Amino acid sequence: MTNEITDSTTPNSQSTAVKPSRRQFLRTAAIGAVLGLAGCLSAGSETGEATPTAEREAIEDISFEGEHLVLTATEEFRGTELHVVDPTETVWAKTETEPTTGKARIRLLDVDGVGEDNHYSPGMFRFVFEPRGEDPHTERVDLVPDISVVGVEQFQEEIPLGFGRIAIEFQNSGTGPTWVSDITYEEAPNYAANDDLSENTYPALYGIEDVTEAIIYPESTEIFLSRRVPLRFLTESDHDCSPSEFSMTLIASTPNANPLRYRIEGSKGGKPESVSLIDAYVCSDVQVKLAHNGSQ
């Protein structure tokens, strides 16, 4: 599989560089990229609105590692009790900032967990610092994922079986992490790929070795594969990869959000390869792209 997928969502779109490997991706996001995007910090504000990050007093840095948000407090607020209150006004976590480094780890995700508590409620979080003998100090962080599909291409690994899969590039342009749960299709050439989405949030993706690989962090992109094989062609005649067009709908699910739906246009090409005992085959050069205004 190549390391670049062409974004075909708009006539003037440009290709998006993709990180070489999900397993090699450094799963952190700097405070400037994550919080600065929405001006997400507020020092002691009671309005619930974010203020510029330059005005923060307690939070020096925020990054994301695995299922956790890692906060680094400024020197004045190190060794301080910290309460994290979610948008529903529920105390999501109680912890302390480490006296030397100022770090505190707050678990936001439980990817292989069940129930409503496996994913934080997106929205404005309040970080309430309680220095001993002093008044509490509150700063606000907006944690809202925004997932979209920005590119698709035929999978080019695990040949020839891999030719039947589509590599899908997801982007998180929001301020909070989330994960992709499942991917399926409608009207795919292979009718067996036209399946319902899984009803739970456990990642049902092809090729991931750990469930946390399904996480997409703010301001990053990841490539995922469905368990379904949409580009496997069935025929009663000779295997034929001569150019012919088709279309289908890609459907993907993430926790706490409606399913994503994108229209895909494709065309056969290349050489046919048999892939099973039944009369099924794949083509070595299938061109697929997101239809213009493909989001449904």
pLDDT in tens, 201-252: 999 999 999 999 999 999 999 999 999 999 999 876 678 899 999 999 999 9
- Kindly state whether residue 129 falls inside one of the protein's structural domains: yes
pLDDT in tens, 84-96: 999 999 999 999 9
How many domains, in total, are found in the chain? 2
Burial of 242 (0-12, 13-18, 19+ CB in 10 A): exposed
CB 152 within 8 A of CB 188: no
- Boundary of a domain, candidates 112, 143, 174: 143
Looking at the fold, whether 74 and 149 belong to one and the same domain comes out as no
Nearest Cα to 156, choosing from 273, 292, 10? 273
- Boundary of a domain, candidates 143, 162, 181: 143
Q: Which range of residues forms the domain containing residue 151?
A: 145-295
User: 275 falls in which pLDDT band (50, 70, 90)?
Assistant: confident
Looking at the fold, whether 181 and 53 belong to one and the same domain comes out as no
pLDDT value at 19 more than 60: no
pLDDT in tens, 131-155: 988 999 999 999 999 999 999 999 9
Higher pLDDT, 54 or 186: 186
Looking at the fold, whether 137 and 180 belong to one and the same domain comes out as no
Looking at the fold, whether 139 and 37 belong to one and the same domain comes out as yes
- Kindly state whether residue 130 falls inside one of the protein's structural domains: yes
Looking at the fold, whether 119 and 219 belong to one and the same domain comes out as no
Mean pLDDT score of the chain: 84
Looking at the fold, whether 81 and 221 belong to one and the same domain comes out as no
- Boundary of a domain, candidates 143, 170, 197: 143
Euclidean distance between CA atoms 15 and 33, whole angstroms: 21
Q: Which of 33-47, 227-241, 253-267 has the highest mean pLDDT?
A: 253-267
Nearest Cα to 248, choosing from 182, 206, 193, 293? 193
pLDDT at 56: 81
Determine the average pLDDT of the residues in 99-113: 96
Looking at the fold, whether 204 and 111 belong to one and the same domain comes out as no
pLDDT value at 36 more than 50: no
Residue 157 in tokens: 């690994």
Euclidean distance between CA atoms 7 and 13, whole angstroms: 6
